[in-house]
């Protein structure tokens, strides 16, 4: 299985569950850089693996699919929540000068640049990869119905085995926090949907977002119309 997603869409969590259920190597975690390069060069003999990409050349993606006969899954997340996760990741997890960065982000010009950059990147990502996918799943559906969403990717499943794989990577189990209990500096920060409303819900910010993502929000059933 090959999983594509824009960053901060739950890809690592999903791949952990899938690789555990399928008893496959999680290439991003279990393979050395040489091992991953063998996959990318279509030279890997071992086929019992799953791998995830944020970005990959389309021609190489087609070669991988044809050679290894693996399904391509596109994992999509509400871009407003992706952007919010980036916001906290940049400030608290990655950036050592977070206080300065935070002050900049509160500046209207910098805030507009931040929003425009991430939402345009998300939109281009979707447009690039969505048509090459065998299945499209939403992060939000993984949250609300993890079992049913994963089950839909297979012709049949071992129900107990899948439940065990899901339980092994439940947010509360791997973080020792309940979903919604925030740890700003953690990679798995909050584990909920709709958190953008707590940080980017004012009308000026929405006015920046509307022209970039409104159509796609409707396409992926995040909004029913453009009046959000």
95-126 pLDDT tens trace? 555 555 555 556 666 778 888 999 999 999 99
CB 71 within 8 A of CB 1: yes
92 CB-near residues (< 8 Å, 6+ apart): 98, 184, 185
33-59 pLDDT tens trace? 999 999 999 999 878 999 999 999 999
85 CB-near residues (< 8 Å, 6+ apart): 8, 189, 195
Give burial (CB, 10 Å; 0-12/13-18/19+) of 70: middle
Q: Which CATH class is domain 2-219?
A: alpha beta
pTM (2 decimals)?
Answer: 0.84
* Stated length of the chain: 228
Name the residue with tokens 């555990």: 20
Average pLDDT in the chain: 86
Instruction: Compute the average pLDDT of residues 166-194.
Output: 61
Q: Strand 2-5 and strand 72-76: pairing?
A: parallel
117-169 pLDDT tens trace? 999 999 999 999 999 999 999 999 999 999 999 999 999 999 999 999 999 98
The residues spanned by each domain of the chain are: 2-219
The string of DSSP letters for the chain reads -EEEE-SSSSHHHHHHHHHHHHT-EEHHHHS-HHHHHHHHTT------EEEEESS--HHHHHHHHHHH---EEEEE--HHHHHHHHHHIIIIII-TTHHHHHHHHHSHHHHHHHHHHHHHHHHHHHHHHGGG-SEEEEHHHHHH-HHHHHHTTSSS--HHHHHHHHHHT-HHHHHSS-TT---TTSSS----S-GGGGTS-SHHHHHHHHHHHHHHHHHTTS-SSS--
83 has a pLDDT exceeding 60: yes
CB 169 within 8 A of CB 142: no
pLDDT category at 216 given cuts 50, 70, 90 is very high
Task: Please count the other Cβ atoms lying within 10 Å of the Cβ belonging to residue 49.
Answer: 22
Six token digits for residue 131: 């048509």
């Amino acid at each position: 299985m090959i999983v594509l997603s824009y960053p901060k869409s739950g890809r690592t969590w999903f791949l952990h569950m899938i690789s555990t259920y399928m008893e496959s190597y999680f290439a991003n975690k279990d393979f050395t850089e040489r091992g991953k390069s063998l996959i990318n060069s279509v030279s890997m003999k071992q086929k019992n693996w799953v791998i995830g990409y944020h970005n990959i050349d389309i021609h190489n993606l087609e070669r991988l699919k044809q050679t290894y006969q693996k399904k391509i899954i596109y994992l999509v997340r509400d871009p407003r929540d992706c952007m919010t996760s980036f916001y906290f990741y940049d400030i608290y997890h990655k950036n050592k000068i977070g206080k300065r960065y935070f002050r900049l982000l509160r500046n209207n010009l910098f805030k507009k640049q931040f929003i425009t950059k991430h939402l345009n990147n998300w939109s281009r990502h979707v447009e690039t990869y969505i048509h090459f996918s065998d299945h499209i799943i939403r992060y939000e559906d993984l949250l609300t119905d993890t079992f049913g969403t994963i089950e839909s990717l297979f012709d049949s499943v071992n129900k107990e085995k899948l439940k065990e794989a899901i339980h092994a990577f439940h947010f509360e189990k791997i973080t020792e926090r309940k979903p919604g209990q925030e740890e700003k500096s953690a990679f798995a920060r909050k584990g909920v949907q709709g958190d953008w409303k707590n940080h980017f819900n004012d009308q000026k910010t929405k006015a920046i977002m509307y022209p970039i993502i409104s159509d796609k929000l409707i396409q992926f059933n995040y909004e029913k119309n453009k009046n959000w």
